Structures are given as structure tokens and as C-alpha cells.
Amino acid sequence: MTMRFACRRRLSTTCFHILFVTFLMATFLPLGWGSEETTSEETTEESDDKLLEHLALFAEVLAYVQQKHLDNPDSKELIEGAIKGTLRALDPYSQFIPDYLEFRTQNRGNYGGLGMSIGIREDMLTVITPFKDFPAALAGVLNGDIISHIEGESTAVMTLDEAVDQLRGEPGTSVSITIIRSKESRPIEVTITREVIRIPSVEKEIIGNKVGYIKINSFLETTANDVDNAFVDFNAHDIRGVILDLRLNPGGLLTSAVDIASDFLKPGQLVVYSQGTEPRENFKASGKPRENFPLIVLVNGGSASASEIVAGAIKDHGRGLIMGSKTFGKASVQRVFRLGDSNTAVKLTFARYYTPKGTDIDKIGIMPDVESAGFSRSEQQMQAKLRNHEKLKTFVEENGDDVLAQLEAAERASRDDRHAVKLLRQYQRLADALTEEQIVLSDIGIKYAIARITENPRDELEQDPQIVAAMEQLKVLELFGQRN
């Protein structure tokens, strides 16, 4: 009886100490619990009472853990675990940073990666963008894949930043991931070797009948200058319209997104605004706008953050036509706060971005004006099997690097053209051989695979079904503009 009383007394004492320290921290936090601008004194007092009630519950649980748990738990691990759980309940991007100096070093350092961006969708770690020709894409990872495990550890309890840290490492080392893919009955195990990832911010070409094509892979400090250089080349070739490709673009710098949107909007037009715990902040177009070319913007489920800001601004102002599929829906603002005199910090979401017409990008994403289908997931898997396929290489070597142009001419040629008939028969034999290997693709799918082998970079663009559809829509916009 005496022992039970003493144990209960120790538990009460521990609980009191925990609650007292927590109460002091809560009372003297620099941010305060209420604001006269937003809450009344009664509301603030009620909030304080509820907070203390929950803190008392937390203190009691922690006291029981310390006194009664089989193991001897480390108090630092317990508190940090509780903090991480608190932040995980808020949103996927808020994060406790136990070592602020290491956090800053990691964000500036040169690390090996897999060449993909990831995010949280419906509480699951999801691939936003596997960048073309980098380790993840070469291993067959697709946009929309769910990463359920990293090195055998479930991602269900990981924060986004913890998952990124697990995937990142020394170049040349490997990491194993488990993927859950739609319409696949079993998980897919993939081992990928890390590389130093250097992805060009901007790619540009002149395709079709004088169409300027700009592909922005990510929004960096140099992106606006790279786009300026692209337009110098476009103007020299008297282009008829522009395709701005933001597919599989995970985002980047807000300032860069505003600069790119300014290329197409009138000075002073609203690009985006942020709103949250602080007053609304507007970001407007500035500088000298480009010539009013007909404009198509391509987006898909891998378009996120800064790319959604640009697409949303162009859509809301009616400056161009948005084509593709619904974007990812990720546009929140985080800020890092140092904690006291320690080396710890906390990263918190404090605002969201909204399009000029008030669409909450983070919750809704950007819906295209015209839905345009690319290759299906099964077709993408087939395409991955054809990367550097020997039969495709042989077909290109036998017929020349311009074989796609030859095929296009052959399909229009008369039946008396022997060369055309021979080439079309050879192409049909190639398609039949691939079918025997259980690689079944549409005509444009096979030609796209061939385009990835030829040396001409325009081939791949001009065989992309969404770019083909965009070029057709540009003709309509051009005709409409002439009539008006």
C-alpha cells in the first residue's frame, strides 16, 4: 500500500513538473496566444483554458511513459517525437528541424539524388516528376507512383523532408524503393543508383511551321534570362505562336514564376497573391511584355507550385489556352523559425497562393481549358521497354536519322513510289516484331520511341501527342486572332 502510494506520488510529481514547465513555455512564448485584431479577450481566455487542458493530458501521458514504460525512454526523443507528431497533424510541409545548421548545409550542398520530385497527395508519398533521362525515369518510375517504402521502411510515418533525406545520398550509392502503381496488382521493387542531378532550367526549339517551343523544367534564378534568350532566337525566325511546356515541372522560385508570367501579361496585372496568417501580399507583372503571340500552356499532374502559379495567371487573364490535365495542387508558403538560443528550428506553413480570380491552388490545382491526353500509364511502361531497343536502333541505322520525315512523306506518296512502299513495309515488320515481344503501342507511340533514338531533338517533340494537339490548337488561335 505504501509502495503504491509512493509510486502514485512520484507520478503526480513528475506530471506536475512537466505541466509546470510546459505552462511556462506556453505563457511566455513571444508570439502570444491571442491578438486583439482577430479575437476577443473571452475567446482568447477560452482558447488558453483548452490549451492548458490538453497540455495537462499530454503531461500526464508523458509522466506515465517515464514512470511505467518497460524501457527507459530518452526524454529528448520523446519530446521531439511529440513535436513531429504535432506538425505532421498540420500539413505535409511543416517540419521540426533538430539541427538548423545541418539543415542549411544540406540545402546548399551538392548531393546525389534520383532525379525526381516528390510530394504528399492524400497522405501518401507520391512522385510528382521523374525527370527525363535521369535515374528514376530510367528505372521506370512514373508520375503518380506512390512510394510506400524506402529501404524497407514505411513512408506512412515519414514527413516529406524525412523522405527526401532518405532518398538523397552520396552519388554512386543506391537506394531501394517500393512503388504502388495504379492498375498493378503487386508492389514494384526498384533499386536506383544516385547521381548528381543537373537539370537544365529551360529547353527551347522551333518546331512545326515556325512554332516556338519552350520547356521549363524548374524555376531557378537563371530561368527568366534563359527564356529571354529563347525569345531572341524566336524573333529572329519570325515565329507564329508559342507553346510553353510546364508538364512535369515541380516548381521552384516564386520570383522566377512572376518573371515568366510577366513575359505574357500586361504590366501591373496580378500574377498571384498569398494569404494566411499575415496580410495578403500581391505579386504583379512587371517589365515589358512580349509580342502578343498565340499561346498554349501545357500542364499535367506533374505540374506543381510555381508552374501552377504561371498557368493560373495566364488562364485567369485569358492570355493563352491551358491544355493537358489537372495539375498537382501544391502551392503553400513555408517559413523557418529559429527556436530560442538552441540550434533547433521549426518550418511552418503560414500562407497559401491563390490565382488572380481566387482559386486556392494548394487545394484545387489548375484545371486545363482543354483536356489533352498524353500517353497512358501502360504506354509509358511500354515506352520504357523500348529505350535503346536494338530493333529500333537497327531501323534508324538502316534508313537514316531522318527516317521519321521519310515515313511522313511515304504515307503521303503514291502506291507507285517503290521506296515509300518498301519503307512502309519495313516499318510494319518492326511493329509486328514489337508485338511479338508483347510491346503493343499505337502508331504515334512507336514513332515517339523512334524519335527518342534519332539525333534530331525536334523529332521527339513533334511525335509527342500533346504537343501535336497543341500545334493544332495554335492554328485555331491564330485564325481566330486574324478574324478579330
Q: State whether residue 243 is helix, strand or coil.
A: strand
Task: Kindly state the DSSP code that residue 291 receives in the 8-state scheme.
Answer: P
With b for 16 or more beta-carbon neighbours within 10 A and e for fewer, the 304-343 pattern comes to: bbbbbbbbbbbbbbebbbbbbbebbbbbbbeeeeeeeeee
Residues with a catalytic annotation lie at 305, 316, 330
Nearest to 250 by CA among 194, 198, 195, 328: 328
Q: Phi/psi of residue 180, each to 5°? A: -105, 120
Residue 296 neighbours by CB under 8 Å, 6+ apart: 241, 242, 243, 244, 320, 321, 323, 470, 473, 474, 477
Distance from first CA to last CA of the chain, Å, rounded?
A: 94
Residue 256 contacts residue 220 (beta carbons within 8 Å): yes
Got the DSSP string for 121-143? ETTEEEEEEE-TTSHHHHTT--T
Q: Helices 403-412 and 390-399 sit at what angle, rounded to 10 degrees?
A: 70
